Amino acid sequence: MAVYAAAEGVRAENIPGVDVTVVHPGRIRSEMNERVGRRTRFMADTVPGVRAMVAAVQRRRVRAYVPARPWAPVGLPVKRLPLSAVNRPA
């Protein structure tokens, strides 16, 4: 959330020539999750995932959910929930 808030702050400054894209990464196959031996639902392969991120930045999108499904449709409702409802228990 801190990075998101910082990005929104930079966007609010409206600095000429500065565009901000907030990427909400979902599950992308990488070294971080290599222990997941099987293909999990909604996990994007690395190359298509990175291409989607780059495309979002090049299109100057305000925010991007990568992979888009199923995260983009639930993004707005989740944003409206209290943090206690979306934070993982420690």
CA 34 vs. chain centroid, Å, equals 20
User: How many residues in the chain?
Assistant: 90
Q: Which two tokens stand for residue 27?
A: 């599950």
Dihedrals φ, ψ of 56, to 5°? -65, -40
pLDDT digits (tens, 9 = 90+) for 35-57: 766 666 667 888 888 899 999 99
Between 74 and 8, residue with greater pLDDT: 8
User: Which distant-in-sequence residues (6+ apart) come within 8 Å of 78 by Cβ?
Assistant: 86
Give residue 83's pLDDT band: very low, low, confident or very high (50, 70, 90).
Answer: low
Q: Which two tokens stand for residue 19?
A: 């565009």
The share of the chain scoring above pLDDT 90, in percent, equals 13
